[in-house]
Amino acid sequence: MSSGPSAYPIPRFRQLLISFACLVLAGCANEVEKQKNLESGNLLTVALENLADRYIEPLQPGAMSINGLRKLVAVDAMLSIDQTEHGVALSVDGSTTLQRALPEDTDLHGWADLTVQLVNKARSQSTAIGELSEAETHKLLLTGIIENTDKYSRYLPPDAAGRSRATRDGFGGIGVVLDQRNDRVIIRSVTPNNPADEAGVKAKDWITHIDGKSTLGLSVGRVAKLLRGKISQPVRIRVVREGLDKPLSLSVIRDHVIRQSVISRHAQNVVILRIKTFNQGTVSTFRKAIVKAVKEMGSDLKGIVLDLRNNPGGLLDQAIAVADLFMVRGRIISTKGRHAESNQIFDASPGQVLADMPMVVLINGRSASAAEIVAAALRDSGRAALIGSTSYGKGTVQTIVRLPNTAEYHLTWARILAPSGQTLDSQGIVPVICTNISRDRLETVKSALASGGDNLSAVQKIYRPHAALSHYSRTHKLACPPSPIRPSDDLETAKLLLMNNKIYKSTIAHPPTNLAER
C-alpha cells in the first residue's frame, strides 16, 4: 500500500493472492545465448488482461506494452521504440529494423504477440539486451508495464516477493532475531514458544555452524536463509554461549514462524500495546496480550494505549479484526474501486473487549495504510482519542497477484473510505492532540492535562470529525505536519489524557452520526 511505508490491505479474512496457472515464463535458448527467443506471450496476455481488468483506473494494453518495451530497450542507448498512428517500430541508431501494425486497443493477445516479436528482435540486434537473462528481461518488461500507474503498484521479482510473503504470512523457521557483530552472527532474541526456544537456544548465543557449515563471515541475511526451510524438517546449529567451555550442538525442528508484530507492557495503570505491522499473527497475538494484561493488572488497569507509530500497514483483515475488538457497532471501513470485488463494506460485530475503558491511539508520519484504518475507525466511532502527528496518508488497497515463478504483482484496486467519509490518500489522519509542536506549547498541553481540570483552551485541539471533513483535514494537516519521530512525549501525553476524564471525554465526543448508514 505504499512507497515509503508500505502495506497491502486485502478483503476481510482472505488474502488477495491471485494465482494464474497459465503464466509460464519460458525461454527457448539456441546454442548462442544472446540469440535466444523469448516465449512469454501468455505471460504478457495475462498480465495485460489483469491490469486492464483489476487496476483502479482504466488502462489500455497498448500503452502498457509500449511502456514495457521502452523500459527494456533503454538498456541499450542505440535502440528505441517509436509509435506512430498506424504502427510500432524498433529502431537501431535511428534506422527502423522492425515495424508492426498496431493491434486493436482491446486485443490483448495481439499486443502480447507484438511485444514478444519486438523483444526478440531487440535481443538479436543488441548484445546488451541479448545477454540479459530471462528473469532480467521479465523484470524490465513487467516493471515497465506497470511503472506509469501509481506509486503503490509494482512488480516484485521472486526474491523480493518471497521476503514480502514471509513478512505477511510467515515461513518455515526456528523463531530467532539475528544481529551482526563484526564477522559473527549473534542471536538478538528468541521468540517464546517457538522451535528455538523449545530447543534451548538463548539470546546472545553466537551461531558458528548450520548443518555443519561455518557461518564465519556470512551476513545476517545469509544465515537467516540457511535457518529457514521446510516445516517439520530439522536444522542442526552449533552455538557458542558465554559461560560455557564448549560449544553446544542443537537440533531444531522448523515450524511455521510468523514474525512478532505485537509488543505489550504496562506502566502506571496503563497497558501499552504496540503493533509494528499487521501480519497473519497480529490479531491472535494482540488478543493474548490483552488477556495477559487484564490478568496481571486486574482492577488497577485504567486505560489502554495503542501505539501505531511507524507502523507501515499490512493485511487489511488483521487491521479490521483489531478495530473490531474495541467496537460494538458501526462502520469500520469501506473500499471503492472499479472491479466489482473491490467494493466492500466492513462493519463492527457485536461484542468488544475492555468496554468503556479509556483508550488512546498514537500515530505519526510513518503510520500508514492498515494502521490508518484502525486509527480512523476508532476515532470516528468515538472509541479512542488520537495523539501524535498526522499520519502518512495512504488510502488505497492493493491486490497481490502471485505468479507461478513466485514473483508478484501488487496492483492498486480500491480506495479507502473512513467511517466519517474521509479519503485518507495524501491527507492522513490528524490527531486530536498534536505533539509535533514547540516544546513550550507541548509543556502547556501536558500541564493542562495534569491539572485534572477541564481547561480545554490550553490543549491544542487540532481535529474533530465533521461534515466538511476533507477540506478540514487538508487545512489542519498543516498545523500538525507528519513526523517520523516517536517522542516519549507522545506516551506521556497519552497517560495524562487517560487520567483526565473530563478532557478525555471531550476528545472523543461528537463522532459522525452516519457510521452505519454510509
Question: Which residue, 394, 387, 385, 389, is CA-closest to 418?
Answer: 394
Rg (CA), the chain: 27
Cβ within 8 Å of residue 415, ≥6 positions away: 56, 335, 336, 337, 395, 396, 397, 423, 425
Cα gap 96→82, rounded to integer Å: 9
The percent of the chain in helix, strand and coil, each rounded to the nearest 5, is 35, 25, 40
Can you say how many angstroms the Cα of residue 315 is from the centroid of all Cα atoms in its chain?
A: 7
| C-alpha count within 13 angstroms, C-beta hemisphere, residue 455 | 11
Instruction: Provide the residue count of the chain.
Output: 518
- Give the three cell numbers for residue 381: 466511532
Q: CB pairs under 8 A, 24+ apart, for 160-166?
A: 161/402, 161/406, 161/407, 161/408, 162/406, 164/8, 164/408, 165/408, 166/259
> Is residue 284 annotated as a catalytic residue, yes or no?
no
Three-state DSSP class for residue 4: coil
Q: Which of 394, 446, 477, 495 is catalytic?
A: 394
Q: Which of 380, 389, 446, 490 is catalytic?
A: 380
Sequential DSSP letters for 334-348 = EEE-SSGGG-EEEEP
Residue 252: strand pairing partners: 235
Under 8 Å between Cβ of 515 and 380: yes
Cβ within 8 Å of residue 225, ≥6 positions away: none
Q: Which pairing describes strands 79-83 and 37-39: parallel, antiparallel, or unpaired?
A: unpaired
Residue owning grid cell 458501526: 330
Three-state DSSP class for residue 371: helix
Cα gap 326→482, rounded to integer Å: 26
Residue 455: strand pairing partners: none
Question: Which residue, 371, 339, 379, 348, is CA-closest to 1?
Answer: 371
- Give the three cell numbers for residue 332: 469500520
Question: Which residue, 193, 159, 148, is CA-closest to 174?
Answer: 193
Cα gap 5→237, rounded to integer Å: 35
Cα gap 461→457, rounded to integer Å: 8
Three-state DSSP class for residue 83: strand
> Is residue 369 annotated as a catalytic residue, yes or no?
yes
Cα gap 42→109, rounded to integer Å: 8
Q: Which of 2, 369, 381, 391 is catalytic?
A: 369
> Is residue 470 annotated as a catalytic residue, yes or no?
no
Residues with active-site annotation? 369, 380, 394
